[in-house]
């Protein structure tokens, strides 16, 4: 596998992978309201290609505000079904978080048992747009104490509702 930053010409191939893994209705999820019309954080969006140059996995990040403070929204992350179970998702998470210099906090909506091994914990009082299950709102501090005392809604970074 080879790691690359996602390029503009990769966009539709990555979108097709997300559709394959999550189904086309994924855009109805509340987190997509935070992404709609907002550019992803390009330096943190990565893809993995196999030896045949086929897309094996992808991860994206988006700028948001949590309780009024800047944060990164991790997701989506997807691994092609033929490569699932190979550790590619974990590799993308660790590599991309390592590249997130200058950021203090990251959040995502996901399963605590899986993401907990990467340092993500449930965020009490941080509210994703409904109907998100609050038990699935997870965060990781990239600087010590970055989530301490943070509460309130997660909103678009551009101030739009």
* Mean pLDDT score across all residues of the chain: 92
Query: For residue 109, is it within any domain?
Result: yes
Q: Mean pLDDT throughout 21-37? A: 73
Position 161 in a domain: no
Task: Write down the pTM of the prediction.
Answer: 0.92
Query: What does the pLDDT average to over 16-33?
Result: 75
Does some domain include residue 32? yes
Q: What is the domain-level CATH number for residue 102?
A: 3.40.630.30
pLDDT computed for residue 27 by the predictor: 60
Give me the count of residues in the chain.
Answer: 161
Q: Which domain holds residue 23?
A: 2-156
Which helix H or strand E contains 13, and what residues bound it?
A: helix 11-22
33 band by pLDDT with thresholds 50, 70 and 90: confident
Q: Residue 77 phi/psi, 5° resolution? A: -130, 135
Q: What is the pLDDT of residues 105-147, one digit of tens each?
A: 999 999 999 999 999 999 999 999 888 899 999 999 999 999 9
Helix H segments across 31-128?
31-35, 88-98, 112-115
Domain count, the chain: 1
- Whether 33 is in a domain gets the answer yes
Residue 143 lies in a domain: yes
């Amino acid at each position: 596998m080879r790691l690359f930053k996602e390029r503009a010409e990769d966009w539709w191939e990555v979108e097709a992978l997300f559709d394959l893994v999550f189904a086309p209705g994924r855009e109805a999820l509340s987190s997509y309201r935070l992404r709609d019309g907002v550019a992803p954080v390009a330096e943190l969006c990565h893809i993995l290609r196999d030896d045949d140059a086929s897309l094996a996995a992808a991860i994206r990040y988006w700028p948001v505000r949590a309780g009024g403070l800047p944060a990164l929204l991790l997701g989506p992350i997807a691994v092609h079904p033929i490569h699932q179970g190979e550790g590619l998702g974990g590799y993308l998470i660790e590599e991309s978080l390592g590249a997130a210099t200058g950021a203090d906090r990251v959040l995502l909506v996901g399963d605590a048992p899986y993401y907990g091994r990467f340092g993500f914990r449930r965020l009490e009082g941080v509210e994703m747009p409904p109907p998100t299950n609050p038990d699935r709102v997870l965060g990781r501090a990239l600087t010590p104490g970055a989530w301490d005392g943070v509460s309130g809604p997660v909103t678009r970074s551009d101030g739009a509702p």
